[in-house]
Structure 1
């Protein structure tokens, strides 16, 4: 009797945990009891039965200097993950996002288990920086599950078989999100201007961006006494965000994960740290300003490797700065206040930006099938093609 298929999923931060949970669900729908799931992940993957040997919160690292500081911990967690693979002997290992961590895991697992199929779920954004990573990835894994069609050529040129699955962020179901109820529950007038702040999902982002946003909020409140401000507190950084925002003199409505999409729909303008959240905001129809800061030394090291014109995915897809971007030294309260103020004062500009954001999402594959289902199909095809022991 053939044993159940065993698949190992590895995620190192909140966004990867969400992708891993979606893939786990899709695999379970296809295989039922003929599937065993093991791996590394967070609470969402745990809900699907994947027991992680350690807490992934400390692995949410962004920036070269931050990576150097955490090198000892990362090295230990790579060893722990490879040991789990060696112990469990899965039929395939899926390495989700988190380039710095998962490429090390790929190499460690390959050394221990040369024949196990290694599948990378989300490739590095080589169109934006360090295109040489495409060749590195092609040498380390057997297959790539890419989010966007514009990703694929970079890796296929290096001989890495690639399946474009689409982004789960393009398929978020917001039908149950009620912006009117969101406002009413917090005592906001239906027509009051609402600024939604999304400070990020990594500790370094919260540390660097929250002071900028706090000053921006204070200045905007002085200009618009009737301005309502809400901020999303979610994921592994929720406690830190809550503590920082509660210390502000201006009232900020704190939004939990369950109310995030209603807040996005209710927002007049959003101020967001660059990341996947920009796609969700565009789906919700919220015109946005994008900001980002790295630790200064990290930015100085990384800056020569940035090759893309834009940080925001839908800006890249449209080859146009639809959502204004303020990166590093441009991410100042002066510039953010001016950018938000322009949209708050001009309803026509808000509507036009929201429309162009939506059109850009179509270029990214908004109408495609559920990405988790396509990813599950591709995983099983790779396993079948390699043969099971």
Structure 2
């Protein structure tokens, strides 16, 4: 390529920020110095040269009511993103996950530059709910990079060309993680149990999940005083998590260092996790978990009629079974979460069996496949070559 390729990467959540950073690294590896990045992202994308004009934490919106209240803010951020494209004229824009924000950005970018190549990286889960989004996406972008092998038919029937690249979360490598390093950092002996608490990556998730998670952990600390509590906090909510954890009547370790977060994943005895990408990472690390989730009551009442599967955790969907227990909405309470965690703290056999089933589900999802970031970079360069 004789000139610099300008790539716009847009991500609005912690998981998208990680995917964007991995994609930027893969493109730089293939193009050397002949690529520059603009766009919207978080700390990881910033490390790769994507300087976001605003903090993406404010875009991590959960629920229909919250989305309506934040509409003005989202609209303003969409306009700022479009203005960046108008000024820098990227060759391609890659819009990562975050349906509500990125589909609006796609339409705004098309208005700015009708000829821009628009690529959606991670499609909406139309096989689980709201299948009409496939048609909406087909009308908004040129190509979809899918992370699930079963995605393509839903979008291709609407005329959207789709390339399966695999799920980056499935490619996460824990071979360099050291559980002993984490135990030394928190002062835990080799035989003392560690509870990982992962309350989400959106501010609204912290608000909704923390009360039940706090109650569960308090109950567990009463019965297991030697239980070490570790929170590997997402960068988008670190300050909010630290502020809440500061008021807990027992010691809690909030981990910000990325290396120690990986160490924590492999050191964990059991995890209490908010539903999301982190459940795949925990499963890869070999940690049995209990999954909790809450949304607003109005959102939940609507979603009950839209969700097409009984599961919300991806590896449970792949296994078509509750490999990890899911306590959702009214079931997501301190006593019920604590009871499920208690079973796993007390029973090594149960932990072992759950980990084995989690591994089997990951295999069904494509664990061990090619590197998704590399596959995504290849697909983008192929699309650019075809267009040129």
TM-score (norm 2): 0.96
Question: Structure 2 matches for 1:90-109, cutoff 5 A?
Answer: 90-109=90-109
Equivalent position of 2:207 in the other structure? 207
In the alignment, is the contact (CA less than 8 A) between 1:199 and 1:232 conserved in 2? no
In the alignment, is the contact (CA less than 8 A) between 1:64 and 1:302 conserved in 2? no
| Alpha-carbon shift at residue 64 of structure 1 (Å) | 0.9
Structure 2: distance between partners of 1:215 and 1:33: 51
Structure 2: distance between partners of 1:53 and 1:184: 39
Equivalent position of 1:183 in the other structure? 183
Equivalent position of 1:246 in the other structure? 246
* Structure 2: tracts of 5 or more residues without a match: none
Equivalent position of 1:35 in the other structure? 35
| Alpha-carbon shift at residue 333 of structure 1 (Å) | 1.2
Equivalent position of 1:285 in the other structure? 286
| Alpha-carbon shift at residue 273 of structure 1 (Å) | 0.3
Q: After alignment, is 350-359 or 187-196 more displaced?
A: 187-196
The alpha-carbon distance between structure 1 residues 143 and 209, as it changes in their structure 2 partners (threshold 3 A), is same
Equivalent position of 1:319 in the other structure? 320
Q: Deviations over 1:106-136 (max 9, x none)?
A: 1111122222111000111112211111111
Structure 2: distance between partners of 1:286 and 1:2: 48
In the alignment, is the contact (CA less than 8 A) between 1:17 and 1:41 conserved in 2? yes
Structure 2: distance between partners of 1:79 and 1:95: 15
In the alignment, is the contact (CA less than 8 A) between 2:199 and 2:205 conserved in 1? yes
In the alignment, is the contact (CA less than 8 A) between 1:198 and 1:271 conserved in 2? yes
Question: Structure 2 matches for 1:1-389, cutoff 5 A?
Answer: 2-256=2-256, 257-387=258-388
Q: After alignment, is 130-139 or 182-191 more displaced?
A: 182-191
Q: Deviations over 1:195-230 (max 9, x none)?
A: 111111100010111111111011111122222222
In the alignment, is the contact (CA less than 8 A) between 2:21 and 2:48 conserved in 1? yes
| Alpha-carbon shift at residue 2 of structure 1 (Å) | 4.7
| Alpha-carbon shift at residue 248 of structure 1 (Å) | 0.8
Structure 2: distance between partners of 1:338 and 1:202: 26
Q: How many residues align?
A: 387
Structure 1: distance between partners of 2:232 and 2:18: 17
| Alpha-carbon shift at residue 303 of structure 1 (Å) | 2.7
Structure 1: distance between partners of 2:97 and 2:377: 16
Structure 2: distance between partners of 1:39 and 1:255: 28
